[in-house]
Structure 1
Amino acid sequence: MDEALLRSLTPAVLGILVRRGADFAAAEDAVQDALVEAVRVWPDDPPRDPKGWLVTAAWRKFLDATRAETARRRREDLVDAEPEQGPAQDADDTLQLYFLCAHPSLTPSSAVALTLRAVGGLTTRQIAQAYLVPEATMAQRISRAKKTVGAVRFDRPGDVATVLRVLYLVFNEGYSGDVDLAAEAIRLTRQLAAAIDHPEVAGLLALMLLHHARRASRTENGRLVPLAEQDRSRWDTTLIAEGVEVLQAALARDRLGQFQAQAAIAALHADAPTAEETDWVQIVEWYDELLEITDSPVVRLNRAVAVGEADGPRAGLKALAELDDSLPRYSAVSAYLHERDGDRRTAARLYVEAAEKASNLAEREYLTRQAARLNN
């Protein structure tokens, strides 16, 4: 049984049912039932048109459920509308499904969970393991999300930016449980790029590929390894080449967005043979472009680091002084720049302060080691 094929077909089949008038929650249940049936039947009797088979099976599952719950007249209308099995071109349905799962009425966590379930085809157990929560908790989250979007009309364009934010949230969760969420996010973004010609979709795909290319070198024996200290020979040059190619095609469209700008910064890091050869001046220029688009405090924080590398640590500290010191990672950036400027005592104190504020264990351990190194 080709599990990858089933997962790739899931969003298109679900989108078709919803477009034909099925309630989202009922349609999703019907598709899951059809997938179970496919796992049982296909090994002995593989269909010539897998997608058409799934559409027909899911629609019949939906009709069976509807017959048990609705009035006779409604049942007859649905039965009359039942399609014949056959191939269908439904890229638009898949695209609408992305928009629906990233609907503004959903919280970010609910949008992510629903996207992984409905578009990604993951089971509730897999999603729960990936987010380190009980399966029952995730089931409730997905159920509430399905009810929320159940009344949403499926006939108007969605917000691409919201879909991309949800996919980037998935990507940044990385790896946990038996599901590689970074790889899953890349797969879904490739699928989205195939369904819609949009430079920011390509920009996000390029950004994911460039970041993912460095994955093998980010940790060593469970410890976080900063970019400057990573073994660049372990970077995936195939992914880097693809990411750069995708990015160049997007930039040629001359419709710059935040993901394209972020990908350009990642590409400059990937292009440097060593940390010392990084083109920090050009990176600062890309951060300036990014600020014009987002004016984000986090972007300003990252720009301060780049300024410190391009123009010296005191220039970086001056840029940092313009920001709110309650920003996440502010203390860590300040510690790094003070150490670069030779003020080891202040840097050590700030590393301790940053470690206390760290959001995860790996980052906390790294910052604690930095403080200990300076204190010794």
Structure 2
Amino acid sequence: MTGPSPLEEILRAEAPYVLSALVRRFGRFEAAEDAVQEALLDASTQWTRDGVPENPRSWLTRIGYRRMVDLLRSEQAAHRRELQVGIAEVTIPAGPAAETDDSLTLLLLCCHPALSRTGQVALTLRAVGGLTTAEIAHAYGVPETTMGTRISRAKQTLRKAGARFTPPEGVELAERVGAVLDVLYLAFNEGYTATAGADLGRVDLAHESIRLTRMLDRIAPGEPEVAGLLALMLLTEARRPARSSPDLGLVPLAEQDRTQWDRALVDEGLAVLAEVWRSGDPGPFRLQAAIAAVHARSESAAETDWREILGLYLLLERTLPTAPVRLGRVVAAAHAFGPVVGLQLLDELDAEHGLAGDPLTAQRVLAVRAHLLDQRHDPSAAAQFRAAAEMTANEAERDYLLRRAGQARVIVDS
């Protein structure tokens, strides 16, 4: 499996900006996204043949405007007057597209209160984050067809609700912040470790998530969980330079050269967290940022205070009792008290909460069990590593797990 081509990367990066321009101009999200998709199809054909134009965004915006007009013309006669007025006012730009950045406004639109939380997150990941329906489905652990239906229903709901492309304020803004945080968190996770492909992550998506979180932090002051998510992103992204190598591929946290971590991001993340840590009881994003901060303050893996991390995971589980959080507690307990304790806790939580059957943690349960068995030189570790490798579509992660399977077998045979 290969990663996206340079052309696909350009189209994915430009699509949210073009969609923002069309929605801002026409106020019709569902139709605008259809127009953008047609513009992308045109581009994939023409650019392959003629090359990428000097200003891809301007090209896509012009084609999107034309497709939008065509779509509106095909609607029922009841909308003709509205259509005629709209077409009369439309001026298809000949030069570069406007540089107005409506990304956050588009994201807030997708988090309209008429939508369910799942619909909000899925639609914004699709429209703003540029994730494919398959990638979003994987994040939720559902079939692609199911997620496609949810996204279509969300777009129809926006249309029926008469949602407008204007930034919400006051109470309305506060009501949407929670959904926006979920969106940005999932988009960043996809950017840090891609669902599929040859690359370990997607730097562009991770950086866009951080940029949007900074914007949200500016327009929603006094929301400590927004700052907590920003701190979490910064502290996590700081590890990227040490997270892979040309020879070994994926480098796990315990083996990373921490001198390669981005100290500017670490310092900023720690400062952001310190400023909001005592603003009431910490929520899930501040607690996760606090866990990342323990790693960031440790000069080496051996000096990491895993008991502190375990305590933070116990607090986190009270506010966010999910399978990934429970599995994180297993890892922390294993580091703090040894692999036997970790395996026992894994078995207990799996029996009680079905971690191995949860789509969000099924693959990671195998990987965690493999690591813990390997620490005990258990012969079954290699098979667990291979089983975990078979369940991931990320080639860098798969290669790492298969390499560990080979190393585990060598240890057993020696």
TM-score, normalised with respect to structure 2:
0.64
Given the alignment of the two structures, is residue 119 of structure 1 paired with residue 143 of structure 2, yes or no?
Answer: no
Match of 2:106 in 1: 94
Instruction: Identify the range of structure 1 (89-98 vs 248-257) with the bigger mean alpha-carbon deviation.
Output: 89-98
- Which of 234, 245, 248 is the aligned partner of 2:271? 245
Counterparts in 2 of 1:266 and 1:96: CA distance versus 1, 3 Å: same
Deviations 1:123-182 (A, max 9, x none): x8xx99999xxxxxx9xx879845651343227754335424542453331784799634
| Deviation of the 1:272 alpha carbon | 1.1
- The verdict on how the C-alpha distance between 1:87 and 1:277 changes in structure 2, with shifts beyond 3 A counting, is closer
Take 1:302 and 1:179, find their aligned partners in 2: how far apart are those partners? 20
Which residue of structure 2 aligns with residue 66 of structure 1? Answer: 72
Q: What is the CA distance between 1:321 and its match in structure 2?
A: 4.2
Letter of the aligned partner of 2:24 in structure 1? I
Report the Cα offset of residue 302 of structure 1.
Answer: 2.2
Cα distance between partner residues in 1 of 2:307 and 2:200:
38
2:32 to 27, 44, 53: 27
- Identify the residue that residue 369 of structure 1 maps to in structure 2: 406
SS in 2 for 1:74: helix
Q: Which amino acid aligns with 1:299?
A: V
1:191 corresponds to 2:222: no
Q: Does 1:273 align with 2:289?
A: no
Identity %: 34
Looking at structure 1, the residues matched to 369 and 35 of structure 2 have their Cα atoms a distance apart, in angstroms, of 54
> Are the equivalent residues in 1 in contact too, given 2:115–2:154 (CA < 8 A)?
no
**Counterpart position of 1:134:** none
Distance change (3 Å), C-alpha of 1:70 and 1:191: same
Contact 2:194 2:202 in 1 (8 A): yes
- Please tell me whether residue 208 in structure 1 is matched to residue 216 in structure 2: no
Classify the secondary structure of the residue corresponding to 1:211: helix
In structure 2, what is the Cα distance between the partners aligned to 1:178 and 1:323?
32
Partner deviation per Cα, 1:237-286 (whole Å, 9 max, x = no partner): 22222332333344343352323222221221122111111121221121
The amino acid across from 1:181 in the alignment is: R
User: Tell me, which stretches of 5 or more residues in structure 1 are unaligned?
Assistant: 45-49, 132-137
SS of residue paired to 1:323: helix
Residue of structure 2 equivalent to 1:353: 384
Letter paired with 1:366:
R
Deviation per residue, 1:70-121 (Å, 9 max, x gap):
32x5222354477799999968742433426x9548789xx66x64663256
Q: Does the Cα contact within 8 Å between 2:19 and 2:33 map onto a contact in 1?
A: no
SS at match of 2:282: coil
- Secondary structure of 2:299 counterpart: coil
SS of residue matched to 1:256 = coil
Q: Is the 8 A contact 2:17 2:103 kept in 1?
A: no
Q: Distance in 2 between matches of 1:216 and 1:60?
A: 43
Task: Choose which of 294, 308, 312 in structure 2 pairs with 1:282.
Answer: 308
CA contact (8 A) 2:18 2:64 kept: no
Q: Is the 8 A contact 1:129 1:178 kept in 2?
A: no
Aligned match of 1:163 = 183
The amino acid of 1:210's aligned partner reads: L
C-alpha distance 354-34 of structure 1, shift in aligned 2 (>3 A):
closer
Query: Does the 8 Å contact 1:317/1:337 carry over to 2?
Result: yes
Task: Encode CA deviations 1:268-318: one digit per residue, 9 max, x unaligned.
Answer: 112211111112122112111111111223323322332233344454444
Q: In the alignment, is the contact (CA less than 8 A) between 1:218 and 1:226 conserved in 2?
A: yes
The CA deviation at 1:64 is: 5.4
